[in-house]
Structure 1
Amino acid sequence: MVVIKVGDFATSDSPENIRRSPAEKPIRSFLSIFRHRFLKGIIKILIVQGQLNYEKVFEVLFYECMLAIVSTCVYHRIISLSEINKRETWKIYIRAALIIFALILIFMTHFSYIFYYLPLPPEFLLAEICFLAFGIYLHFVVFLFLLFLIECVASILIYIFQKWIPSMHFTLPYLNTPLLSSKTLQTLMALILGIALTAQGYIATRIEPTVKHLNLLIQDLPLEFHGFTIAFVSDIHTGPTVGKAKVAQIVQIINDLNPDIITVVGDLSDGYISYIGDRLKPLKNLKAKHGKFGVLGNHEYFYENADDWIKFYEKELNLTMFINDGKVFERNGKKLCLAGLDDYYTEGARFIGHKMNTTKAIKNCSPKIPTIILAHQPKGAAKVLKDLSKLGRRADVILSGHTHGGQLVVVYPIGVALVDYFFGLYLHRESNTQIYVSSGVNYWGPPVKMWPTLCEIVKIKLLSNLKNDNKNI
């Protein structure tokens, strides 16, 4: 990763810089960048087309207020660790160090969200550090909450055993261990886990993305398309911690696969075109024999007008964007259909001209030809299956992303429990549709993933059941 020093942005002919010592220049430069970029970002949040953006103001304030409530607990829990050392002399120094650590962790966590609204240098180390702090913070809070719940359950069981089932007294030592009764030990354990898992997850995202090879057997796929390859990538999330170099690396890996087509399935960006558009430019160099295609994700709707992103992707990146649209490929008179839908996020929010429309997306796809559908969210994939059932139609393959495979250890169990199609390959038996949900090539928020293989690019090879030698493919 290339780190651009904040001092590099100082104006060389500035009189102030000439008079100041070299040691002072980086500080003055940083303050200058912070002042101008921060104010510009705040204006971007507050004002849209000359009017106050109440929705965005409320969103940011609500997020920060909710986080502040949690941060109060985090602060008191962290400084309570000073009680571990009983010697008064050391206790003062430990407490002071813990206060500084807690304040830095909390400040960086609160500030990390603001980076999405700021114009940043191409590779900005401070943003990465703040998001890593957010990763530690998030793990710490969740583990602390889980340990608290376990302590509550243990306390209830102890009460029941002591009062109502005296014969079960032998179980009490197991329920009354220090980890279940000591808040200090719980805090220390949660903090260690938070730091360790964030560090491990950060290393996982620094490793080159994994290329997964997936063979999909398609019923009645014309032999002309037997061996047809698709490079499938989702969730690039170009933004504060994903810069141009990372995007260029992804492009190179995909091009080395030499695919027939490339599909970019949503969440390419996190921010404003004027701030991060240049970071996406390497995607223009994607190469495929029969085209590069994309659909929108929910993050394309968070900051900029989605229509502006569509224009940017098509004009600047040479991507063909499917907004409830599709394309039919033809070889020797045989056909294969690729269709893409607007994001499921539009189902719960009002965006003029944007809504999932399965009927419109497959209008050029004959019921008799194999069909592949792109839908960013797995919930969108589920909706497509319902829509197709009502239409008396089916799809052979649906490609989705969005879930990041859980991304964090503390999020993974929730995702598995709540999302029907969470990560990997699924078969919808009623329609015989194969659904692949990618964990994405990057991450959102903390630059952390549970393990390196969750940063994936998928090369899909379509196989025909009409071919006799599939085992050799």
Structure 2
Amino acid sequence: MIFIALIDWYSYQAFKTAFPSNTWVKVAYWAFSVLVYGYVAYGFLTFSREAMSPSFGKMVSILILSLIPKLIVLAFLFGEDILRFFSGAFQSLAGGREGDFLPDRRKFISQTALAFAAVPFLGILHGVLIGKYRYRVMKHTLEFEDLPEEFDGFTITQISDIHSGSFDDKKKLEYGVDLINQQNSDIILFTGDLVNNQAKEMEPWMETFQRLKAPMGKYSILGNHDYGDYVAWPSEEAKAANMQRLYDIQEELGFRLLRNEHVKITRGGASIDLIGVENWGKGFAQHGDLPKATANLSDQSFKVLMSHDPSHFDEEVKKFSQFIHLTLSGHTHGMQFGIEIPGWIKWSPASLRYPKWAGLYEEMGRYLHVNRGFGFLAFPGRVGIWPEITVLTLKRK
């Protein structure tokens, strides 16, 4: 609370200095702050994981929209205060300072602080209003010496982290689903987190996602949010019923759910092995069983693995006894915030937790692709890290 008060006091100083004669600006500042904190306080007092819905997301977005720009202002004005202190001390020692110890704040500094603060404010506002549905198709071509000739040119569309409980715009969601279909890939693979917490979150969007089509099938796995572990269920029976409903929804959507198992994808008399494990994450539940999922597979077969959490790749997959050519993951969302300029910079707070957090990686001859996610969670927006539809084309060297 003290830190929040400090942030607001400094922000108010910027407005007071930049607009010294405009009383309405100062009143509007405090009115806005009081409304934001009142709304957020009410939201936290009534919060429950079961109700992590668009309304909760709006509360989070308003809090972020208010605090991040104020932190920018704090940095500018606190820096100015350090300079004011040393300037006042120097002038006092020199005997040339009369009256107040600290020099007055400079209007230019406050105006500059407010201008810089406007950048994240507008960025976050864009992320909430537009960015969360700003779907991007990311395409990669991967070459393998041992890919069966019949699969040369085989295309995979990967989507991940739908988080259906967060959606609030059917028309924009339908656009995203249509964009997936427009890729005309041979197969669609969904790498987990269909819901935020409960299976019923998917019910309003069933018809939309049932439109997904792929000539060689649709396959899926579970993510950490799919198990209902973040909800206080009234009984184990209720939790089990929710889990069974999630399984049924996967089937109704036309997905073949792989739970520590594999299937053969056949084309022109040849085949590749598609493996799906349950969630396995460092610091998260580890339901995945890779030895079970790969039991009885030939060491020479070409293998594609779906594993929700990319930490599984570093912890187990890349050093697994069987060579797995390609692993598809999601989970990180790229933290829904960051900056990516191809060839220049690629950064997100997600990189502090996950060394492999978005895009394509290669290590020990094995590939990992981390999808940035189709949906969003908690913060109802995306800033610089857009929702992703991945198209992977497999080529034989």
- Please state which band the TM-score falls in when normalised by the shorter chain: 0.7 to 0.9
| 1:393 and 2:322 are equivalent in the alignment | yes
How far is the alpha carbon of 1:142 from its aligned partner? 5.6
Q: CA-to-partner distance for each residue in 1:390-424, whole Å, 9 max, x for gaps?
A: x4222111111222234224994433344221221
Q: Per-residue displacement from partner, 1:412-456 (whole Å, max 9, x unpaired)?
A: 44333442212211110xx301111122223323333234x7222
Query: How much has 1:102 moved relative to structure 2?
Result: 0.8
Q: CA deviation at 1:82?
A: 4.6
Identify the residue that residue 226 of structure 1 maps to in structure 2. Answer: 152
Q: How does 1:325-364 map to 2 (within 5 A)?
A: 325-345=261-281, 348=283, 355-364=287-296
User: Which residue pairs with 1:94 in the alignment?
Assistant: 25
SS of residue in 2 equivalent to 1:239: helix
1:382 positional shift: 1.8
Contact 2:309 2:331 in 1 (8 A): yes
Q: 1:248 to 1:214 in 2, by over 3 A?
A: same
1-structure distance, mates of 2:6, 2:277: 43
| Deviation at residue 192 of structure 1 after TM alignment | 1.9
Question: In structure 2, do the counterparts of structure 1 residues 108 and 260 end up closer, same or farther at CA, with 3 Å as the change threshold?
Answer: farther
CA RMSD between the two structures: 3.8
How far apart, CA to CA, are the structure 1 residues paired with 2:207 and 2:63? 28
> Residue 322 of structure 2 aligns to a residue in which SS?
coil
Contact 1:217 1:463 in 2 (8 A): yes
Contact 1:244 1:280 (8 Å CA) reproduced? no
1:435 maps to: 368
Gaps of 5+ in 2: 91-102, 234-238, 340-345
> What is the rounded CA distance, in whole Å, between the counterparts of 2:274 and 2:185 in structure 1?
15
Counterparts in 2 of 1:445 and 1:397: CA distance versus 1, 3 Å: same
Q: Map 1:64-75 onto structure 2 (within 5 A).
A: 71-75=4-8
Q: Does 1:287 align with 2:213?
A: yes
Shift of the 116–222 alpha-carbon distance from structure 1 to 2, 3 Å rule, reads same
| 1:145 to 1:96, Cα distance in 2 relative to 1, 3 A | closer
Would you say the 8 A contact 1:328–1:364 is kept in 2?
A: no
CA separation of 1:275 and 1:264: change in aligned 2, threshold 3 A: closer
Deviation of 1:255 after TM superposition, in Å, equals: 1.9
Whether the 8 Å CA contact 1:105–1:137 is kept in 2: the answer is yes
User: Could you list the per-position Cα deviations for residues 52-93 of structure 1 after superposition, in whole angstroms to 9, with x for gaps in the alignment?
Assistant: xxxxxxxxxxxxxxxx67644444444444522434xx43x3
Query: What secondary structure is seen at the aligned counterpart in 1 of 2:373?
Result: coil
Partner of 2:174: 248
Alpha-carbon distance between aligned partners in 2 of 1:340 and 1:317, rounded to the nearest angstrom: 17
CA distance in structure 1 between the partners assigned to 2:162 and 2:388 by the alignment: 10
Does structure 1 residue 423 correspond to structure 2 residue 358? yes
TM-aligned CA distance change 1:220 to 1:308, over 3 Å: same
5 Å-filtered alignment, 1:143-222, equals: 143=72, 151=79, 188=114, 191-202=117-128, 204-205=130-131, 208-222=134-148
Q: Structure 2: which amino acid aligns with 1:86? A: P
CA distance in 2, matches of 1:280, 1:187: 47
SS in structure 1 of the partner of residue 66 of structure 2: helix
Rounded Cα–Cα distance in structure 1 between residues aligned with 2:171 and 2:161: 16
Higher relative contact order (CA 8 A, sep 6+): 2
Percent of residue pairs bearing the same amino acid type:
20
Distance in 2 between the 1:107 and 1:219 partners?
61
Contact kept, 8 Å, 1:337 with 1:371, in 2: the verdict is: yes
Partner of 1:33: none
The amino acid of 2:26's aligned partner reads R
Q: What secondary structure does 1:454 align onto? A: coil
In structure 2, the CA distance between the partners of 1:363 and 1:292, relative to structure 1 (3 Å rule), is: same
Task: Report the 3-state secondary structure (helix = DSSP H, G, I; strand = E; otherwise coil) of the residue aligned with 1:250.
Answer: helix
Alpha-carbon deviation of 1:220?
A: 0.7
How far the C-alpha of 1:145 sits from its partner, in A, is 7.0
Is 1:462 the counterpart of 2:394? The answer is yes
Distance 1:454 1:119 in 2: 21
Residues 73, 424 of structure 1: alpha-carbon distance in 2 compared, 3 angstrom cutoff: same
In the alignment, is the contact (CA less than 8 A) between 1:233 and 1:441 conserved in 2? yes
Query: CA offset at residue 211 of structure 1?
Result: 1.9
Secondary structure of the 1:267 match is: coil
Asked whether the 8 Å contact 1:135–1:194 carries over to 2, the reply is no
Give a deviation string over 1:269-292, Cα, whole Å, max 9, x none.
224333552224422222112221
Measure how far apart 1:213 and its partner are: 2.2
**Closer/same/farther in 2, CA of residues 127 and 395 from structure 1, 3 Å limit:** same
- Counterpart in 2 of 1:311? 247
Structure 1 142/406 Cα, relative in aligned 2: closer, same or farther at 3 Å? farther
Q: TM-score, normalised by structure 1?
A: 0.65
Q: Determine if contact 1:313/1:321 at 8 Å carries over to the other structure.
A: no
Hey, what does 2:93 align to over in structure 1? none
TM-score normalised by structure 2 residue count: 0.76
Taking a change above 3 Å as real, the CA distance of residues 142 and 299 of structure 1, as seen in their structure-2 partners, is farther
Could you tell me which amino acid in structure 1 is paired with residue 331 of structure 2? H
- Of residues 92, 100, 106, the one that matches 2:37 is 106
SS in 2 for 1:220: coil
The counterpart of 2:302, out of the listed 370, 394, 419, is 370
DSSP-derived class of the 1:338 partner: strand
Shift of 1:137: 3.4
Would the alpha carbon gap of residues 398 and 103 (structure 1) be closer, same or farther in structure 2, given more than 3 Å must change? same
| Kept after mapping to 2: 8 A contact 1:213/1:458 | yes
- 1-side partners of 2:390 and 2:244: how far apart? 28
SS in structure 1 of the partner of residue 395 of structure 2: strand
Name which of 336, 352, 367 aligns with 1:407. 336
Instruction: Give the corresponding residue for 2:68.
Output: 139
Q: Aligned partners of 2:181, 2:263: CA distance in 1, in Å?
A: 22
Q: Name the stretch that deviates more: 226-235 or 435-444.
A: 435-444
Greater mean alpha carbon deviation, residues 401-410 or residues 435-444: 401-410
| Number of corresponding residues | 362
Aligned to 2:96: none
Return the offset for 1:101. 0.7
Unaligned runs of 5+ in 1: 1-67, 164-175, 466-473
Higher helix share: 1
